[in-house]
């Protein structure tokens, strides 16, 4: 979409400039105004009503919301009550607030717009407020005259270098005209030109076009030897200028108007009027750094492009952006300064986030800005970058993790605290919770990638998790019902079934998950289905409803196959869902048995492989297993012990102890003295 020339509001010629001065209105004036104008009439200028859903006879009207991008008609207007409400973004209000939001004007100016449309005379104003309004109206007229003066100067011989520069930047004659680009010469400036037309010198100074000399001399032009870019407000009125120096030795490459009664740089965005129109038609709202980026984007078809003016993005800027689009895209230059600027925006935006209201970040290739990308790589490259814009949470994560190593508990704790401190600034509790969940998942992915065993390698139990060192496992006897299960009796694939029992028990009683995070993280699953379920369970350690979470992550049938296994359905951990103490006992026993089942065979296997190796290595390996057998002690009483644990904490199933003894006997027979050579 190409940039539109800046048409004035149809009522501009009859309305004063924006005025935020409070003013008392006569009793009944607002009521009379609402009587004369129906809300659907006011809103109808900005939306297309949904014919199927709307009932004009009853004043019950529906349309896609003008405040956020959507296709379904969730924006409701009730003419009888005089209120609107969006079921998507929750915008609500009356005719006055609607004009305020869509026209970016204050209360009194919204009233004036509606009163003029309704043919209702405005009441007499406070003299001081009227004087301020008259001043602003006069300054607006001065600025429009300045726009025309600078445009004419661009065609003079003095502006040859400026025209060459614009041509090199890829701007056609038509584009220069669309953007009202002009030129301020070194001599014969706007001050002399406007005063010659009868504009008071004081007005030229008050409009920010000229300044008084510090030495008490005559006023001088603020803009000299610069390409001039008009800056317009949300209604298309010229309120300031930005000037690009042609002299490479100029103190400032870009120079903006000072703040005036018309111009507040913290509340103004370049190209905001055209961007709002384009965004309303579905184009992404892109926030660039400067004028040329905005112009290049717009000329390339990205019509909803804006830029702050000589200042970092402010809180008011964010509110302006969110009134145009629920998710503006911040275009970052691909350098360190660009990233720092983006992170400042993140910190500013976090406390202001609301449901459906956030930011995304499009990162340019290193050393390029949007203008460079379009010229060197083409429009499609820019489109790809916009499509790949990252959510705010990703940038927050990048700041805390980039170029850092988290190889110790202390560093990981520091990362967790830094992220927590950032999300703590989010005021909306629901959004804060979702940020915490997203960051927890990113931490899980980061740490899991460091500790996950490589595929094809045997499981190695981590010494960091020792069942006898956990407070909830001390003096804990095995559950008798587990002894009678298929697992206790020895199923064909005990390891696989034990994994299934552990996962099923956690799903049945998720409150115990935090107590078993360490062993669950290091549990090497025997099939991909168990691994996916394990990872999904770990990601919802703080989720109140694990079943819903698993269904969202893996589908509604995520746990059906697991729970349909007969031995799983009958396991003791599922008989008392929600019983935390009982679940802890079941899981403690299951993890201990799984650890023993996997650890002992590996030690014995490696010992057998080392039979022909040095006796010292063999002796050490066998010693580990022999001590587990010979020095084992029972957990609990003789009648219900299922796991035996050596003094060194090594646990084994009773059947595995017998198997170990037979293996040791075999090793002793096989270990015959070597024949002398």
Q: In angstroms, what CA-CA distances link 157 with 154, 168, 186?
A: 8, 18, 12
The average pLDDT across 57-75 equals 86
Q: Which residues contact 105 (CB under 8 A, 6 or more apart)?
A: 18, 99, 113, 234, 235
Q: Is the pLDDT confidence value at 422 over 80?
A: yes
User: Exposed e or buried b for every residue in 512-521, given b needs 16+ CB within 10 A?
Assistant: bbebbeebbb
Q: Please give the pLDDT value at position 478.
A: 45
d(CA 645, CA 363) in angstroms, rounded, equals 56
383 contacts: CB under 8 Å, gap ≥ 6: none
Helix (H), strand (E) at residue 654: helix 654-670
Q: Is the pLDDT of residue 9 over 80?
A: no
Q: What are 433's two structure tokens?
A: 């919770």
Q: Which residues contact 294 (CB under 8 A, 6 or more apart)?
A: 270, 271, 288, 305, 306, 307
Does residue 379 surpass a pLDDT of 60?
yes
pTM of the full predicted structure?
A: 0.59
Give the DSSP H/E element, type plus range, for residue 333: strand 329-334
Q: List Cα–Cα distances, 421 to 357, 417, 418, 437, 444, in angstroms.
A: 21, 6, 5, 14, 18
CA torsion, ordered 649, 655, 656, 659, to nearest 10 deg = 140
pLDDT tens digits for range 40-65: 989 998 899 998 899 887 788 999 99
- Backbone φ and ψ for 208, nearest 5 degrees, come out as 85, 10
Mean pLDDT for 407-414 is: 89
Instruction: Tell me how far apart the alpha carbons of residues 603 and 460 are, in angstroms, rounded to a whole number.
Output: 10
What would the pLDDT profile of 452-476 be if each residue is shown by its tens digit?
A: 444 444 434 344 444 444 433 333 4
Task: Label residue 71 exposed, middle or buried (CB < 10 Å: 0-12, 13-18, 19+).
Answer: exposed
More confident residue, 181 or 10: 181
194, 176 Cβ separation under 8 angstroms: no
Report helix, strand or coil for 355.
Answer: coil
User: For 264-295, how does the pLDDT look when each residue is reduced to its tens digit (9 = 90+)?
Assistant: 998 899 999 999 889 878 899 999 998 999 99
Q: Which two tokens stand for residue 45?
A: 């200028």
Q: What tens digit of pLDDT does each residue of 488-536 get?
A: 444 436 778 888 888 888 888 888 887 888 788 778 887 888 888 888 8
Buried b (16+ CB within 10 A) or exposed e, 457-496: eebebeeebbbeebeebeebbbbeebbebbbbeeeeebbe
Tell me what percent of the residues of the chain surpass a pLDDT of 90.
Answer: 36
Report the SS3 class of residue 273.
helix
Strand 360-366, strand 305-306: pairing: unpaired
Distance CA(359)–CA(390), nearest Å, equals 9
Over residues 538-560, the pLDDT tens digits come to: 776 555 567 777 777 777 677 77
In the predicted model, what is the mean pLDDT of residues 401-412?
Answer: 87
Q: Which of 34-38, 179-183, 604-608 has the lowest mean pLDDT?
A: 604-608
pLDDT band at 242 (very low <50, low <70, confident <90, very high): very high
Least confidently predicted of 75-84, 104-113, 567-576: 567-576
């Amino acid at each position: 979409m190409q940039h539109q020339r800046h048409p004035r509001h149809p009522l501009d010629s009859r309305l004063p400039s924006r005025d935020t001065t409070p003013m008392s209105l006569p009793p009944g004036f607002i009521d009379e105004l609402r009587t004369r104008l129906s809300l659907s009439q006011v809103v109808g200028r900005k939306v297309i009503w949904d014919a199927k859903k709307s009932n004009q006879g009853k004043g019950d009207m529906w349309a896609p919301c003008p405040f956020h991008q959507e296709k379904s008609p969730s924006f409701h207007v009730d003419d009888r009550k005089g209120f609107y409400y969006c079921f998507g973004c929750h915008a609500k209000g009356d005719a006055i607030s609607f004009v305020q939001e869509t026209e970016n004007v204050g209360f009194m100016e919204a009233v004036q717009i509606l009163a003029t449309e309704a043919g209702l005379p405005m009441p007499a104003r406070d003299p001081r407020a009227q004087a301020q309004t008259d001043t602003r109206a006069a300054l607006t007229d001065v600025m429009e005259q300045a726009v025309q003066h600078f445009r004419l100067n661009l065609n003079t011989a003095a502006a040859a270098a400026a025209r060459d520069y614009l041509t090199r930047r890829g701007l056609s004659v038509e584009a220069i005209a669309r953007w009202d680009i002009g030129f301020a010469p070194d001599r014969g400036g706007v001050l002399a030109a406007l005063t010659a037309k009868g504009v008071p010198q004081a007005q030229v100074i008050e409009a920010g076009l000229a300044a008084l000399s510090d030495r008490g001399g005559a006023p001088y032009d603020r803009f000299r030897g610069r390409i001039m870019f008009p800056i317009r407000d949300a209604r298309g009125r010229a309120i300031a200028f930005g000037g690009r120096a042609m002299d490479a030795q100029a103190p400032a490459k870009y120079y903006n108007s000072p703040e005036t009664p018309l111009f507040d740089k913290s509340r103004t965005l370049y190209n905001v009027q055209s961007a709002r129109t384009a965004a309303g038609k579905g184009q992404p709202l892109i926030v660039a750094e400067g004028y040329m980026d905005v112009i290049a984007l717009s000329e390339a078809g990205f019509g909803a492009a804006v830029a702050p003016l000589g200042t970092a993005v402010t809180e008011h800027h964010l509110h302006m952006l969110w009134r145009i689009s629920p998710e503006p895209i911040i275009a970052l230059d691909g350098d360190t300064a660009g990233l720092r600027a983006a992170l400042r925006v993140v910190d500013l935006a976090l406390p202001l986030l609301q449901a459906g209201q956030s930011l995304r970040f499009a990162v340019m290739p290193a050393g390029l800005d949007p203008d460079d990308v379009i010229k060197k790589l083409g429009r499609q490259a820019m489109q790809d970058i916009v499509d790949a814009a990252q959510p705010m949470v990703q940038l927050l994560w990048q700041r805390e993790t980039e170029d850092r190593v988290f190889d110790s508990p202390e560093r990981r704790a520091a990362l967790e605290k830094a992220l927590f401190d950032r999300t703590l600034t989010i005021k909306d509790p629901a959004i804060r919770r979702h940020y915490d969940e997203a960051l927890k998942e990113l931490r899980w992915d980061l740490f899991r990638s460091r500790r996950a065993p490589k595929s094809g390698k045997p499981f190695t139990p981590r010494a960091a998790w020792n069942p006898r060192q956990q407070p909830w496992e001390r003096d804990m006897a095995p559950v008798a019902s587990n002894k009678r299960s298929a697992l206790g009796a020895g199923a064909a694939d005990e390891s696989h079934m034990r994994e299934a029992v552990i996962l099923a028990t956690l799903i049945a009683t998720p409150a115990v998950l935090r107590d078993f995070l360490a062993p669950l993280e290091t549990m090497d699953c025997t099939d991909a289905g168990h691994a996916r379920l394990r990872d999904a369970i770990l990601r919802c350690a703080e989720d109140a409803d694990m079943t819903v979470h698993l269904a969202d992550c893996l589908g509604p049938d995520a746990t059906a196959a697991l729970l349909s296994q007969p031995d799983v359905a009958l396991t003791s951990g599922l008989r008392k869902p929600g019983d935390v103490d009982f679940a802890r006992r079941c899981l403690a026993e299951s993890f201990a048995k799984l650890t023993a089942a996997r650890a002992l065979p590996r030690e014995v296997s490696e010992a057998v492989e080392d039979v022909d190796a040095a006796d010292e290595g063999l002796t050490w390996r066998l010693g580990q297993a022999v001590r587990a057998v010979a020095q084992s002690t029972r957990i609990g009483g003789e009648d219900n012990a299922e796991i035996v644990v050596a003094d060194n904490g090594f646990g084994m199933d009773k059947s595995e102890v017998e198997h170990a003894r037979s293996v040791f006997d075999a090793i002793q027979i096989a270990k015959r003295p070597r024949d002398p050579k």
